[in-house]
Structure 1
């Protein structure tokens, strides 16, 4: 399992969201409060952010626990952004992919993270993977369940699906093939945040017209945080947040 967070709003220092709050993502790496599976998220971390005037995000990822990277504090103090996605990782299975397996995954203008696990991986998604072009399968950034879920989502995005629809359809396809999966997905293009609650906790905090945060769990005790019901799609902009129930796929 993992923990992740996405933000849209006025530019802030990365550390103001990821390190400074009392229950920030930094602390969630060793002391999450609402994580239902796993206890320590020490198998890597990453943050992706957008600079003003550039639609393609930058990323900083490491295969080490977030608390062991002493350079992150300086980076997070001086880098400011109005749109970001960050995650700490608890690996589903042991592997040698290292930094390549740490979210956020990125392509074009999109960032993506997966909080959960695909049941029966990898056999369960063999048929689903065959629907992807060979070039896309050969371009997987890591040999993990999250990387394949990202490839499925990216394929939909590049063929023109809107981010919310693409995320929902990806979850339903994977859940149909692997019903035991936990599929809390989080994605952004710098203007929208899309997320799914499917098997683990998901929360959001919004001040319409100003900012929105979507996260695995609240990073403070502000009463404005709202929990997202399980089996729900969230699509948010700086102006609005919408929640749409997701139906369980038929066997």
Structure 2
């Protein structure tokens, strides 16, 4: 269910990160190699990136498969960035189909993506939604499980929690209410926070930077992240922290 990646590093083109790599995110939209749930990711795509001098990211999202949008190829070829989050979508049955459901979601300086699903969708939504203020529910960008997880995380960020603590807490909260797969990515353009919870996650070092992705491309050296792990990364370093089983099982 979906593939995604985040990058921090030396300035490079979106094409170099998303389209060019063999077995990279572009190819994973129709031929993922490590995806254990679903077969293709053709229900939309999105890219968010940061431009020099502006902390608020730009986004390009569509409800079509990434290979079906020739305009994206031109945008990707000429757009350069030092930080990026991109995703290709395999929609959870019963969720929204518009481009507003395609990651990345954004608020202020943050970009967010969710790879996985809430197994009890939409039945499991009630208990999770009840923890949100009504204004947050009304502000949901799309009718889908990923948008609910983003609302939970965004609320914690707004309340002053750091991204790593907020991500771990949201995964624990979601897992306590419903079985599911909760791999998330969030970045502010300077750091990346990710969780491996029920699906594959890897990180790779590039000259002057780092990539965290659902699955590796054919370039460079990649390391698999153990399941139930919180990842925090900067350009210079990647740190792994276990998400305790007890934390994910609490009610």
RMSD of aligned Cα (Å): 1.2
Number of matched residues? 248
Contact 1:157/1:166 (<8 A) preserved: yes
Equivalents in 2 of 1:78, 1:171: separation in Å? 36
Whether 1:231 aligns to 2:242 is: no
> For the Cα contact (< 8 Å) 2:43–2:97, is it kept in 1?
no
Normalised by the length of structure 1, the TM-score is 0.96
* 2:147 aligned counterpart, secondary structure: helix
Question: Which sections of structure 1, spanning at least 5 residues, go unmatched?
Answer: none
Structure 1: 4+ residue segments shifted above 3 A = 94-97
CA shift for structure 1 position 155 = 0.4
Q: Say whether the 8 Å CA contact 1:125–1:174 is kept in structure 2.
A: no
3-state DSSP of counterpart to 1:168? helix
Contact preservation (8 Å) 2:197, 2:227:
yes
Which residue of the partner structure matches residue 192 of structure 1?
Answer: 191
> Who is 1:9 aligned against?
9
Aligned to 2:55: 55
Counterpart position of 2:98: 98
Q: Distance in 2 between matches of 1:95 and 1:174?
A: 17
1:157-203 deviations in whole A, cap 9, x for unaligned? 1111111111110000000111x210010110000101000111000
**Residue equivalent to 2:181:** 182
What residue in structure 1 maps to residue 124 of structure 2? 124
Which runs of structure 2 are paired with 1:82-161 in the superposition (5 Å)? 82-161=82-161
In 2, the alpha carbon distance for the partners of 1:97 and 1:142 equals 9
Provide the rounded CA distance (Å) in 2 between the counterparts of 1:139 and 1:97: 18
Q: Distance in 2 between matches of 1:78 and 1:44?
A: 21
Among 212, 215, 220, the residue aligned to 2:213: 215
Q: Identify the residue that residue 250 of structure 1 maps to in structure 2.
A: 249
